[in-house]
Structure 1
Amino acid sequence: MRPPRRLRDRAPQGLPLRAITPNALTALALCSGLTGVRFAIGDVNGPNWQLAVVMILVASALDGVDGQVARMLRGTSRFGAELDSLSDAISFGVAPALILYLWSLHTSPKFGWICALLFAVFCALRLARFNAAIDATDQPRKAAGYNTGIPAPAGAIGAMLPMYLWFITGEDRFRSPWLVAPWVAFVAVLMVSSLATYGWASMRLRRRIRFEALVVIVGIGAALISAPWPTLVVICAIYLALIPFSVAGYARVRRLRANMSVAPPDAP
């Protein structure tokens, strides 16, 4: 017996799984960032600095895939965008600032806390600027595949560079607040700067080097597994060295667009 027509025509109830998955990844990234603070606070055995850093790296990895998953599953939403920004502010702003303060900056409480605050607040300001422009139709940098300033995950990974060097060498000079504090403040300024930095969309590979690119990606993954701290030092150095090239690349894109806009129309 067929069900009544009013039951057959009723819209399906419930929230589709594709709408939950990306938000779940974002929530896991938030949990990972906060867990990094827990390892920095420590227990009876003291803080575990390496696990604290690993938690921030895991949050960065999850943040890198949640947006892609949302687009693949057609599960993008304004709620997801707001949750992602909130997660980024905590995982890549508050959590790294607290970890660095507990690791080094607390030995110079006033100066160190000011730099930790700058990092957390500047990360929030960067995300607020991003959210304010999310509905803007004219975003030339985004259209060209560039970011404005360094992204929050890159800022968090870069700010912890002194920790990687300390893990490798064990030398206390890398833990000095007079080295760590200026570095953290410098990375914070990069996050809120107007510098054009490379985004994923601006990196285009030629068809004939796809295999070579795959080999490089596999090599980086193997290096991160076998020697994570030296690899992260190299990645941070390369990323910072590429900033002048990204600025010059976007300036070239702007010149090309300006020339196209003032070019005279074709004669009839």
Structure 2
Amino acid sequence: MAHPDRTPLLPLEKRRRGIYILPNLFTTAALFAGFYAIVQAMNQRFEVAAVAIFVAMVLDGLDGRIARLTHTQSEFGAEYDSLSDMVSFGAAPALVMYEWALQDLGKLGWIAAFIYCAGAALRLARFNTNIDVVDKRYFQGLPSPAAAALIAGMVWVGIDNGFTGDELRGYACALTIFAGVSMVSNVLFWSGKSINLRKSVPFIVVIALVLVFALVSSYPPGILFGLFLVYAASGYVMWLLRWKRKHDRGEATPAPQPDSTVPPAAGDDTAPPPRS
């Protein structure tokens, strides 16, 4: 029997509020791909694990786009996406790289993996808190999917060329630390959010996209790894160019000259003596 005098635990509008299935379906698929990468790394199938991380990256890019296009954004979806990203682009790449190349380095190996994992967590937390105050055209710090692509790309390229993790462990350690530190840096990286998918484009753009897909399909491990290496370096190159431009502008500004028409202050030793 219902008691009309009792206050419900949740307001009626919140109890009726559902969860949008379409974008969260893609987020769940990305989460599964990240978890699958961890499982495959534990089974020493590192190439499959690297591919799974790239699949998670594609799915993660789709869920946000679909939510915006279908107007199904929600706070639940944003929080769920962050948790999925932490698994797919934080824990999974760190564990895959550790199992493949870093475990024989001892303390240095797991410290490098932890730097990457902590960098991903801090990057996601900062992104969630600064989402309304930063310039939408740029990311502050290397995005976690791009950092994960660096790690997975190196594993994939190394295995495809017949290298073992032990042979590349020095490079793997340096790249892992670089990716982790880059995620929490203040370097700006182009976000691509200024691209309007609903806007018409010249025919040459479609041809360029076809050529890009053809290039990637010719050698996926090397091309993808190279593209994300260039993207990771682009932020630092642009930062150096901005710093140099600011430095040159500061040198070009002449120093202010003292005004000879202003009378000297009282007690100034440089003042001329009074005429008699």
1:103 aligns with 2:100: yes
Give the TM-score normalised by structure 1.
Answer: 0.77
Distance in structure 1 (CA, Å) of the matches to 2:79 and 2:200: 39
Distance in structure 1 (CA, Å) of the matches to 2:76 and 2:201: 39
Q: Would you say the 8 A contact 1:155–1:187 is kept in 2? A: yes
Question: What's the CA shift for 1:246?
Answer: 4.2
Question: Alpha carbon RMSD of aligned pairs, Å?
Answer: 2.9
Seen in structure 2, the aligned counterparts of structure 1 residues 250 and 23 have a Cα distance that, compared at 3 Å, is farther
Flag structure 2 segments of 5+ consecutive residues without an equivalent: 1-12, 247-276
Flag structure 1 segments of 5+ consecutive residues without an equivalent: 1-10, 255-268
1:199 aligns with 2:200: no
Q: Give the AA of the match of 1:74.
A: H
- Which of the numbers 175, 182, 188 marks the counterpart of 2:180? 188
Partner of 1:26: 27
Runs of 4+ in 1 over 4 A off after TM superposition: 13-17, 202-205, 248-252
Partner of 2:157: 165
Partner of 1:233: 225
Q: Would you say the 8 A contact 1:116–1:184 is kept in 2? A: yes
Seen in structure 2, the aligned counterparts of structure 1 residues 248 and 200 have a Cα distance that, compared at 3 Å, is farther
Q: Give the AA of the match of 1:127.
A: L
The number of aligned residues is: 231
| Structure number having the greater helix percentage | 1
* 1:109-148 alignment runs, 5 A limit: 109-134=106-131, 136=132, 138-139=133-134, 141-142=135-136, 145-148=137-140
Match of 1:179, SS state, is helix
Match of 1:171, SS state, is coil
Distance in structure 2 (CA, Å) of the matches to 1:202 and 1:195: 19
Give the TM-score normalised by structure 2.
Answer: 0.74
Q: Give the AA of the match of 1:152.
A: S
Question: What's the CA shift for 1:41?
Answer: 1.2
Match of 2:193, SS state, is helix
Q: Give the AA of the match of 1:107.
A: D
Partner of 1:260: none
Seen in structure 2, the aligned counterparts of structure 1 residues 249 and 203 have a Cα distance that, compared at 3 Å, is farther
1:151 aligns with 2:143: yes
Distance in structure 2 (CA, Å) of the matches to 1:250 and 1:201: 21
Partner of 1:64: 61
Distance in structure 1 (CA, Å) of the matches to 2:76 and 2:96: 29
1:76 aligns with 2:77: no
Seen in structure 2, the aligned counterparts of structure 1 residues 250 and 91 have a Cα distance that, compared at 3 Å, is farther
CA displacement 1:82-137 (0-9 Å, x = unmatched): 00111111100000000011111111121100010111111000101111223x4x
